[in-house]
A and B are shown apart, each in its own frame.
Chain A
């Protein structure tokens, strides 16, 4: 590689990774201060695992992330198939707009509007109570858009000839889906599931709007702690989250690559 691109990449990746590296490093710092290094210690790790409020928040976040990832994968996959394989149906342009909009819509706008919907629904039909359900619904609504884009991109890599051949040979639509479409998009499903899981685990703004007083997710706990000041326990959480998402991304990238070659 020439010298210029190499320098650009070195600068770019240093910019992206140095802040993350310092967060990880300071999770092993002795001092309470997150800006001064005073020696190696794992005391903040023990402190975090003894911090019940944080652990509870993390468990709630993991449960929501799991439910969200499963539901968003189902809905997002259907949406992705609709985008890639159904070029004509009534209301398609509205449908496309609705799938794309959550990708760029500022979260504060989505947060207020969803909360007002939930409050209205609760008043008129008594459901949903604010908490787990409303947080999950909000997360599903925006993470299904990401799944849809991943699935759509995967389907766009393959033309429709296989599916059409099966139809011409008389296969019923569901049989075509199960034996051809589903195996084609399987890696995208795993990748989309992992992405939806990560997005949910990380969401602060929507969650803050739609959660009731009783439920606190991990990002909410982290945010209120960060507002009070820098805290090495947050560095420990950061390190764990970074480790989990790295494993998730590497796994999904390897999966997508292997299947594409096969």
Chain B
């Protein structure tokens, strides 16, 4: 196909690529430039909108020197990382079990994983608010088992946030893992068994490395949004656990400090740039093209 595309073909391509491209440039990319600009402004409570474009880096200096904000950043990254590992530990066996199930059963098993994702996120977190409360089902169970006397209240602790993230993001972990495990060539495992490898050894040297792209994609799909999570720390976490998404929300809605909220957003985006770029590369490879 060395020939130059004919005019109607080029026209068709412009008609296909043009509208979504223009939309995303205007409503997705341009806003980031505005946020970046406003993050160098200052709060002006009497103005509407409450922003004075002063061109100072004061917001950044403040965020990076205030222990509260630095803590919020670090604890967001830590909580998201721990929750991602926990999600992987639960999601991997599930994805593996689904991939090993009879082919006729796989669609229904997969659909059961996807269904909660279609069900309201807010409502799924609300469900845990009831379950984890002091007189909720989980505490009743813990009391019935009488493990350690009074179990205390899980709601409001960091564990509640981990649980919320694992629960809410599990489908995002299982789906890419399943996609990677399903493609796995079974004859490799049979060959390993024939050559005397124990199942555990075969898993470590064949299944796990070959499913690595799925592991990375799944972890990124959980980690990146979890860092900026707001609903989960707000509804399940306590006052002592700071996450940066909640800080941004409060700066914006409670303190109406738009420039500071913008600077928080810019710093969050910078911290997530590397994982987002990695995810982009994985996906772009899937889409092919040059």
Contact = CB atoms under 8 A, between A and B. Distances in A.
Interface of A: 1, 4-6, 8-9, 12-13, 15-17, 19-20, 22-23, 26, 33-36, 74-76, 78-79, 81-89, 91-93, 95-110, 112-114, 116-117, 119-120, 123, 137-138, 140-141, 144, 148, 152, 167, 172-174, 177, 195, 198, 201-202, 204-205, 208-209, 219, 222-223, 226-227, 230, 234, 237-238, 241-242, 245-246, 248-250, 253, 257
B137 to A, nearest CB: 6
A85 B137 CA distance: 51
B35 A12 contact: no
Contacts of B283: 96, 100
A99 B230 contact: no
A230 B265 contact: no
Nearest to A257: B107
B274 interface: no
Contacts of B100: 1, 5
B215 interface: no
A113 B268 CA distance: 13
A116 B289 CA distance: 34
Given A112-B258, A245-B115, 14 more contacts: A1-B101, A15-B170, A16-B167, A19-B127, A78-B20, A87-B288, A95-B17, A100-B279, A106-B245, A112-B35, A119-B49, A219-B120, A234-B126, A249-B111
Interface string B242-282: 00010011001100001001100100110010001001100
Q: Which 4 A-B pairs have the closest CB atoms?
A: A106-B228, A113-B31, A173-B12, A5-B97
B170 A16 contact: yes
B34 A22 contact: no
A5 B158 CA distance: 30
A8 B22 CA distance: 46
Interface residues of B, number: 91
Given A119-B49, A223-B122, A249-B114, A141 B265 contact: no
Contact of B225 (A12, A104, A119, A137): A104
Contact of B94 (A12, A85, A89, A172): A12
Nearest to B32: A113
Contact of A36 (B12, B98, B135, B235): B135
Contact of A245 (B32, B98, B120, B128): B120
B120 A238 contact: yes
B287 A108 contact: no
Contacts of B261: 112
Nearest to B91: A12
B221 A99 contact: no
A114 B119 CA distance: 25
Interface of B is mostly: helix
B64 interface: no
Contacts of A103: 221
B119 A102 contact: no
Nearest to A174: B12
A145 to B, nearest CB: 9
A12, A17, A85, A138, most chain B CB atoms within 10 A: A12
A230 B130 contact: yes
B276 A105 contact: yes
Of A123, A249, A250, the most chain B CB neighbours within 10 A belong to: A249
A162 B19 CA distance: 25
A199 B119 CA distance: 9
A5 B101 contact: yes
A104 B107 CA distance: 25
Contacts of A202: 120-122
B130 A141 contact: no
B224 interface: yes
Given A35-B137, A109-B228, A205-B230, A86 B13 contact: yes
Among B135, B220, B265, which residue has the most Cβ atoms of chain A within 10 A?
B265
Contact of B98 (A9, A83, A249): A9
Contacts of A79: 20
B182 interface: no
A80 to B, nearest CB: 9
